[in-house]
Amino acid sequence: MRTYASVPFSQVKITGDFWHERLETVLTRTIPSQLAKLESSDIRGSIKLPKPVPPLTIPRQSNNFTVQYFWDSDIGKWIEAAAYALSHRRDAAIEAEIEAMIDDLEAAQEDDGYLNCFYTQREPEKRWTNLRDNHEMYNAGHLLEGAVAYYHATGRDRFLKIMERNMDHIAATFGPGEGRRRGYPGHQEIEIALVRAWHATGQRKFLDLATYFIDERGNTDGVDHYFDIESRARGEDPAGYWFGDYEYSQAHLPVRQQTKVVGHAVRAMYMYAAMADLAAEHDDAALRAACEALWKDVTERRMYVTGGFGPSEWNEGFTKDFDLPNDTAYAETCASVAMVFWAARMLNLDLDGQYADVLELALYNNALAGLSRDGAHYFYDNKLESDGAHHRWDWHRCPCCTMNVSRLVASVAGYYYGLADTEIAIHLYGGATTTLPVAGGEVTLVETSDFPWDGRIRIAVTPTPGTGRFTLSPRIPSWCRGASARLNGAPVEMTVERGYLKITRDWAAGDVLELDLPMGPERLYAHPDVRHDAGRVALRRGPLVYCCEQHDNAEPVNRLRLAPDAPLRERREPGMLGGLVLLEGPARAEDATPWGTALYATARAPARETTMTALPYYAWCNRGSNPMQLWLQEAAD
């Protein structure tokens, strides 16, 4: 049973500077520039069928694979992000562009509902022969999410109908019944899309198909593994699979038996999000227990301090417990976006601040780092240390992260609140106004703050007459020490239950709740088994993790050493990168001069005094490539 419901972002107006600026950048810069990139990279053109089959823009790899298999998904994600933009502000030109895309997709859809521009154009006889590798369902999922978003934004259901026919085709092709194949996606995504479609339409068939995919995944109970069956049907030996085993796509075990977070990180996070959705929809205790075990595993052993996931480039995913290298971190932007999805669904299952803490961490740090200040440059992988070679790019041969971060920012307000019959949970802060149904009435919440720079939050509560007694549950983040609250000026007893301050009363118009969430800078240390962070310290202030960029430091950032007791000063810089708070403090840095040309010596280089300056991680690499260090050396001397 779902305890709390998400509040759609379109019901929440962002007023705070921090997210308002990011949102405006996405609406005015990111979405148009992404459209231009879709056109120049031929992705937009690839859905215009029929036409002579052009050569592949991106050649196949040796295993006959090309990222062009995914291009439909990029169209779907861009439509989704653009539709979120339309929910904020209608735009006739963008709508015309989306309608033209829908025209093309409608034309490309086959009579039986099949819709995949790559296969229909290039190898129609091979459709549905390689679910393991070629992303047909992943594409369909993203198109479906785009269709749902466009329907919500405009009320127009043509795209949704196209995708409904497509889902009907898929449900007729795959499933448990006679004459159907027991397949499921190699890259999970369609499952959360189907749940969204179910919520948007109330049509149970969407939920049923999502449920089938999750239930069937990794099933070898009396049947061969579907990816084996499929491989043999293609004339391939399943043992020749590039990734060795099906942990890569979390299809190595039925999902309810999974307790270790493994494989490709984005696949994993999308699947866990869908599992949390279905655990709520079906009140499925086994599914919920699996979600909780996986959550525990990832947050206790396999998460970067930035809320990044998946250290390895090889599988774009997970490796071993405590294996969190900094300079080679993959920590794909998409994986953190997907973590926001999963965490939000866990919060709906169970109002526990640990989920919101990780949601906030991933959102403000690893995910947000993926989008540049100018809104048109991106990180795909998010390293925690760079010698200066790592840099933002304006497009990628696999542009998945670009539209993932834009759709996240455009809908960020959807993660602010959780709603129950007589309770409103406030997960995130940052200046927002919303009106929500609660306790038989409605209440308007006007939150004003300078979050994430300042932890003083003001919430004006205005219920409509007739609204009953309800609980307002603002979150007290785990990074906060000494939180306090005042209601109409009077101190509130801090009855914090699992990260939420519960205030139950007969709220009245004019009520003002003030929170003070101190966010003094803190030092963070990694578990002793994280070998890469041994002897090192990270800095955090509120939800933001900090790093040292060479631009702001006189000494090479990899040489900086911070004493355990060195004071950390906050310095507000309103004019820097949109306004931010820097951290600075006395530090020491080894001086290489006395070494001459020696590579190794029998005495450590003398250290000289310097000042360490750190900025929020999300803001790095917006002034050109330069070295960056997140985990600093800590030494008393």
The reply to whether 147 sits near a second copy by the rule CB under 8 A is: no
Our CB check for a second copy shows the closer of 126 and 527 to be 527
Closest separation in Å from C-beta 299 to a second copy = 7
Report the C-alpha gap between 38 and 298 in whole angstroms: 34
Which residue is listed with tokens 């169209």? 75
- The reply to whether 316 belongs to the active site is yes
Distances (CA, A) of 42 to 57, 71, 110, 430: 8, 9, 22, 38
Closest separation in Å from C-beta 174 to a second copy = 32
Indicate the DSSP class of residue 149: H
The reply to whether 93 sits near a second copy by the rule CB under 8 A is: no
Would you state the structure tokens that stand for residue 587, as one six-digit string?
């530090």
Of 595, 608, 611, 625, which lies in the binding site for a second copy, with binding defined by CB under 8 A?
595
The reply to whether 636 sits near a second copy by the rule CB under 8 A is: yes
Of 190, 530, 548, 580, which lies in the binding site for a second copy, with binding defined by CB under 8 A?
530
The reply to whether 303 sits near a second copy by the rule CB under 8 A is: yes
Closest separation in Å from C-beta 479 to a second copy = 9
Of 556, 578, 579, 585, which lies in the binding site for a second copy, with binding defined by CB under 8 A?
556
Which helix (H) or strand (E) element contains residue 116? none
Of 113, 325, 463, 474, which lies in the binding site for a second copy, with binding defined by CB under 8 A?
325
Indicate the DSSP class of residue 181: B
The reply to whether 328 sits near a second copy by the rule CB under 8 A is: yes
Closest separation in Å from C-beta 458 to a second copy = 28
Question: Which spans in 178-219 are helix H?
Answer: 190-201, 204-216
- The reply to whether 400 belongs to the active site is yes
Exposed/middle/buried for residue 257 (C-beta within 10 Å: 0-12, 13-18, 19+): exposed
Closest separation in Å from C-beta 637 to a second copy = 5
Closest separation in Å from C-beta 441 to a second copy = 41
Of 564, 570, 571, 573, which lies in the binding site for a second copy, with binding defined by CB under 8 A?
564
User: Which listed residue (400, 547, 548, 621) is catalytic?
Assistant: 400
Which residue is listed with tokens 């999963």? 342
Backbone angles phi, psi at 390, to 5 degrees: -75, 135
**544-549 and 560-562 strand pairing:** unpaired
The reply to whether 531 sits near a second copy by the rule CB under 8 A is: yes
- Choose one: 59-67, 116-124, 144-152, 365-373; the region binding a second copy (CB under 8 A): 59-67
User: Which listed residue (316, 385, 447, 555) is catalytic?
Assistant: 316
**The dihedral of CA 284, 285, 288, 289: what is its sign?**
negative
Of 50, 52, 62, 466, which lies in the binding site for a second copy, with binding defined by CB under 8 A?
62
Closest separation in Å from C-beta 529 to a second copy = 6
Task: Give the contacts of 172 (CB within 8 A, at least 6 positions apart).
Answer: 113, 180
- Using only C-alpha atoms, what is the Rg of the chain? 25
Our CB check for a second copy shows the closer of 529 and 570 to be 529
The reply to whether 6 sits near a second copy by the rule CB under 8 A is: no
The one-letter amino acid code at 566 reads A
Tally Cβ neighbours within 10 Å of residue 636: 8
The reply to whether 236 sits near a second copy by the rule CB under 8 A is: no
The reply to whether 602 sits near a second copy by the rule CB under 8 A is: yes
Contact 66, 60 (CB under 8 A): yes
**607-616 and 500-501 strand pairing:** unpaired
Exposed/middle/buried for residue 598 (C-beta within 10 Å: 0-12, 13-18, 19+): exposed
Our CB check for a second copy shows the closer of 148 and 359 to be 359
Number of residues in contact with a second copy under rule CB under 8 A: 55
- Choose one: 19-27, 293-301, 573-581, 610-618; the region binding a second copy (CB under 8 A): 293-301
Of 89, 320, 397, 572, which lies in the binding site for a second copy, with binding defined by CB under 8 A?
320
Indicate the DSSP class of residue 469: -
Contact 46, 68 (CB under 8 A): yes
- Choose one: 163-171, 191-199, 427-435, 629-637; the region binding a second copy (CB under 8 A): 629-637
Our CB check for a second copy shows the closer of 414 and 627 to be 627
Report the C-alpha gap between 16 and 128 in whole angstroms: 47
Contacts of 530-533 with CB under 8 Å at 24 or more apart are 530/322, 530/324, 531/322, 532/324, 532/325, 532/326, 532/631, 533/305, 533/324, 533/326, 533/631
Q: What 3-state DSSP class applies to 395?
A: coil
Closest separation in Å from C-beta 477 to a second copy = 13
Of 94, 526, 544, 568, which lies in the binding site for a second copy, with binding defined by CB under 8 A?
526
Backbone angles phi, psi at 128, to 5 degrees: 60, 25
Our CB check for a second copy shows the closer of 513 and 530 to be 530
The reply to whether 605 sits near a second copy by the rule CB under 8 A is: yes
Closest separation in Å from C-beta 305 to a second copy = 5
- Choose one: 36-44, 371-379, 536-544, 615-623; the region binding a second copy (CB under 8 A): 536-544
**423-426 and 470-474 strand pairing:** parallel
Distances (CA, A) of 50 to 53, 71, 87, 214: 8, 16, 32, 34
Our CB check for a second copy shows the closer of 65 and 396 to be 65
Binding site for a second copy (CB under 8 A): 61-63, 296, 299-301, 303, 305, 320, 323, 325, 327-328, 385, 387, 522-531, 534-538, 556, 558-559, 561, 564, 589-592, 595, 597-605, 633-637
Query: Which of the residues are catalytic?
Result: 316, 400
